Amino acid sequence: MIRYIAIFLCSLLMCSATFADSVTSVSLGALSGILNERMLLMKEVAAYKMKHHLPVDDFVREQNVFAGAEEEAKNNGLDPNSIIPFIRSLMDASKAIQHRYIVQWQTGPEPSFPIQTLSLSRQRIRQLDNQLVIVISQRLMVGTFSHEDMVWLKAQLTAPNLHESDISDMLAALSLVRRVR
């Protein structure tokens, strides 16, 4: 009887390890995809802001983004205080990308693609931010981000005008995100 229990427990452990590995690989792939898509949207945001002579920085908007991220973090079992540095790093990288595009267009040809409204771009960014919180929460259910995870993520983040320093800051802040339950 003890032998059967031991076999059952070993099987259970093997299944849970397999499940954890699959959650990890899926969540890392989803995380990199969402981050890249979010950063790619900055080209549209920059084009709109340049066309309408709007500043890249928008303090009121940033406060709204923080409030939304804190609420989404609470709803998904994350420490709301731990998500703020990550969201700040996303915003900083996003603003840096916007500035780089604007400088590029001011010194060369202006954007030649259809420019979406800022409200549509922001709506999509909000959806992506919510997805990020969900994916991060799911990933943290099986453990923290390892060094190997961070190296892999760094290699996957390839959006134009996203510099290595932006990526390093985002990943450093990501490593600080914690679950509360």
DSSP 32-51: HHHHHHHHHHHHHHHHHHHH
Helix (H) or strand (E) holding 130: helix 118-140
Mean pLDDT for the chain overall: 90
- Give residue-wise pLDDT tens across range 130-167: 999 999 999 999 999 999 999 999 999 999 999 999 99
Per-domain residue ranges of the chain: 22-174
pLDDT value, residue 135: 97
Q: Specify the pLDDT at position 110.
A: 87
Report pLDDT for 180: 93
Q: Which of 114, 109, 113, 68 is nearest to 87 (CA)?
A: 68
Between CA 45 and CA 56 the distance in angstroms is: 9
The DSSP symbol for 179 reads B
This prediction's pTM? 0.84
Of the CATH numbers 1.10.10.10, 1.20.59.10, 2.10.70.10, 1.10.3720.10, which one belongs to the domain with range 22-174?
A: 1.20.59.10
| Residue pLDDT, tens place only, 91-140 | 999 999 999 999 999 999 888 889 999 999 999 999 999 999 999 999 99
pLDDT reported for residue 7: 62
Q: 128, 87 in Cβ contact below 8 A?
A: no
Q: What is the pLDDT of residues 59-93, one digit of tens each?
A: 999 999 999 999 999 999 999 999 999 999 999 99
CA distance 171 to 62: 20
Confidence tier at 27 by pLDDT (50, 70, 90)? confident
Structure tokens at 161: 């005008």
